[in-house]
Amino acid sequence: MMKEVEEIIKKFSEVLEKYNLEEEESYYIIEKKNVLREDIPERDNNYRENFLKLTKNENGYVKVERAHWL
């Protein structure tokens, strides 16, 4: 078993010698990383108020669908 281990290590060392290990590793193919879209202002400044007007009931609660699977 020792002989086999020595052969494996020798072969592995030979393979490693072919590579330049001084190069910096790169994980990305392109230069841009974590690209996010730009924030754009809301078109309708009253969107929240208009939405709540459409969804609130007469008691001021937001109307939602009941669990129809029960």
Q: How would residue 70 be classed by pLDDT, with cut points 50, 70 and 90?
A: low
The pLDDT score that the predictor gives to residue 42 is: 65
Q: Which helix (H) or strand (E) holds 67?
A: none
The pLDDT score that the predictor gives to residue 4 is: 93
Q: Is 90 exceeded by the pLDDT of residue 9? A: yes
Q: What is the phi/psi pair of residue 49, to 5°?
A: -65, -45
DSSP of 11-60:
HHHHHHHTS-TTSPP---SSS--S--PPP---S-TTHHHHHHHHHB-TTS
Taking only the tens place, the pLDDT of each residue in 16-65 is 888 877 777 767 677 776 778 787 776 767 888 888 888 888 888 887 77
The pLDDT score that the predictor gives to residue 40 is: 75
The pLDDT score that the predictor gives to residue 31 is: 73
